[in-house]
Amino acid sequence: MRPVDPPPGEDTPHRAAGQPARCYVANVSLASLRQELTDRVTTVVRGLSTPDPIEPVGPPDWSGLDAREYDGEVPAPGSLLTEVPLGESLWIRNAADARRFLYATSNQHGPAVSTAALFLPQSRPPEGGWPVIAWAHGTVGLGDEATPSAQPQSDRQQFYLGHWLDHGYAVVASDYAGLGTPGLMSYLNGKVEAHNLIDSVQAARRIGVPLSSRWALVGQSQGAGAAMNGARYATEFGAGYDLDLRGVVATGTPANIERIVQFLGPSFPPVPLPPATMTYTAYILAALRDARPDLTVDEALSDEGRRIVGLAERLSMYDLREEVRGADVRAWVDRPLRSIEGIFEALKEHMATPVAGYGSPIFLGHGLTDIDVPVASGLSLAASLILHRQPVTVRIYPTDHFGAVYAAAGDAAGFLERAMR
């Protein structure tokens, strides 16, 4: 320690009136102070965290419906093309029946097809059929092997989708166009994902099981943004469908992320980013490059950036996260993204979460210790929705990104029970 005005009670040298006071300053480096703070925060966060649910994906099980090379006619959106029993190893444990189906929708380039799974509850269908939950899944990757309906259910989805089945809802779980079907899944492209979700419910009602016209959207992380877009555009994109949207539940919703991505460049702040954040960034760049070839995103990327974005197009979240762990995102670009004319407008169109125009109630849940989609992102969305007088309920939970699903389940069920009346 070096003395510069010691604490009261200790001998001090004479200081003339008006002379500035001095203080004790520890002779430690800024790096060690930062590390100590990081360690303490990490300890707190771990105490509020759920186990990491991201695991390697195995060989996909297509349940006899492999649509990766589909080249047939694409009929009107919402049309059912075919359906098969879902392989039993892929079921939600407490489902009474499960199907996998192929349906018509649209993607970032026009007419497209997508696959989805349908899970039915064990309860008897009420008059008019089971109400429907359209499940919008979170980030799994862009490669076909990660297709959710071709992989066993994670513990989190066993819990959450089982939770909705137990409450008497049928669950329609779209894979989104491009996962297990031709083209690239357009990551965080809210309007495309909205089409995929709305069309999946319309197609599921043509399978021949008793499904109600009453439905709701439920999503987590990437899926939360998709669900919010689905709710905002349900009337427009579902024009002509006999569907009655009653509400949306979104947890860990990414919002205003485009405002940060636009500043990616060689001078981006030299702050170590969590591996998941790096992974999401690579997927965003891959999706934007595919959706907007006119922007020539490749010209701003370095050789390393193009390599990473190429990997993002085919690697699952687990594999890509390991690939980018410890990387420096500044090395992915040779010049700022903002040097690309129209980049912010393109990012906003691609991934912004709407803040007005909703016709059904909204439930937003977020984890206080979320480092994947920081709580500030969710709160900024909540504030904008309130400012625009949208019908929103907001709940913050003392948990992380993945834990928000568990923490919000009871509140979300009560919210939708009221909305479905």
Share of the chain above pLDDT 90, in %: 86
How does pLDDT run across 115-134, given as a tens digit for each residue? 999 999 999 999 999 999 99
| 27 against 287, higher pLDDT | 287
DSSP lists the bridge partners of residue 115 as: 102
Q: Would the CA dihedral through 356, 359, 361, 362 be positive or negative?
A: negative
Instruction: Choose among 123, 115, 112, 76: nearest CA to 99.
Output: 115
Quote the CA–CA distance of 204 and 199 in Å, as a whole number.
9
Average pLDDT over residues 178-202: 98
Average pLDDT over residues 233-253: 98
* pLDDT at res. 17: 44
pLDDT confidence bin for 142, thresholds 50/70/90 = very high
The pLDDT of residue 8 is above 50:
no
Are 331 and 265 in contact by the 8 Å Cβ rule? The answer is no
Rounded to an integer, the average pLDDT of 13-30 is: 44
Please report the pLDDT score of residue 419 as a whole number.
Answer: 98
C-alpha 415/C-alpha 417 separation (Å) is: 6
H/E stretch holding 8 reads none
User: Confidence class of residue 406 from pLDDT cuts 50, 70 and 90?
Assistant: very high
Q: 4-8, 137-141, 180-184, 319-323: which range is least confident on average? A: 4-8
Widest Cα–Cα separation across the chain = 92
Q: Are 222 and 215 in contact (CB under 8 A)?
A: no
DSSP 207-262: SSS-EEEEEEEEEETHHHHHHHHHHHTHHHHTTT---EEEEEEEES---STHHHHT
In sequence order, what are the beta bridge partners of 191?
none
Phi–psi pair at 128, nearest 5 degrees: 95, -5
pLDDT at residue 302 tops 70: yes
Q: What is the mean pLDDT of the chain?
A: 91
Rounded Cα distance, 234 and 242, in Å: 11
Task: Report, as an integer, the average pLDDT of 382-390.
Answer: 98
pLDDT exceeds cutoff 60 at 336: yes
Chain segment 48-95, per-residue pLDDT in tens = 556 677 889 999 999 999 999 999 999 999 999 999 999 999 999 999
pTM for the full model? Answer: 0.89
CA quadruple 76, 82, 85, 90: dihedral positive or negative?
negative
For 80-255+355-419, CATH gives: 3.40.50.1820
Q: Report CA-CA distances (Å) from 133 to 30, 121, 162.
A: 50, 11, 12
Q: What is the pLDDT of residue 49?
A: 59
Token representation of residue 263: 């500043």
Q: Which residue has the tokens 């399978």?
A: 207
Measuring CA to CA, which residue among 201, 222, 336, 207 is closest to residue 279? 222
At 36 the pLDDT is: 54
| Positive/negative CA dihedral, 75, 77, 83, 86 | positive
Q: Which of 17-26, 172-181, 224-233, 386-395 has the lowest mean pLDDT?
A: 17-26
Q: Could you tell me which of 376, 373, 378 has the C-alpha nearest to residue 281?
A: 373
What would the mean pLDDT of 36-56 be, rounded to a whole number? 59
**39 pLDDT band (50/70/90 cuts)?**
low
Q: What is the mean pLDDT of residues 233-237?
A: 98
Token pair 């309130």 in the structure block, residue: 386
**Measured distance CA(234)–CA(389) in Å, rounded:** 19
CB 143 within 8 A of CB 110: no
For residue 29, what pLDDT is reported?
60
State residue 272's pLDDT score.
86
Instruction: Report, as an integer, the average pLDDT of 21-33.
Output: 47
Which tokens sit at 152?
């066993």
Cα 275 to chain centroid distance, Å, stands at 15
Q: Reply yes or no on whether the pLDDT at 41 is more than 50.
A: no
In angstroms, rounded to a whole number, what is the distance separating the alpha carbons of residues 123 and 120? 9
Domain boundaries, the chain: 80-255+355-419, 258-349
Specify the pLDDT at position 1.
38
Structure tokens at 207: 């399978």
Tokens representing residue 23 in the block: 């203080």
Residues 286-295 have pLDDT tens digits of: 999 999 999 9
Residue 140 and residue 283 in contact, taking contact as beta carbons nearer than 8 Å: no
Q: DSSP label at 359? A: -
CA terminus-to-terminus distance, the chain: 68
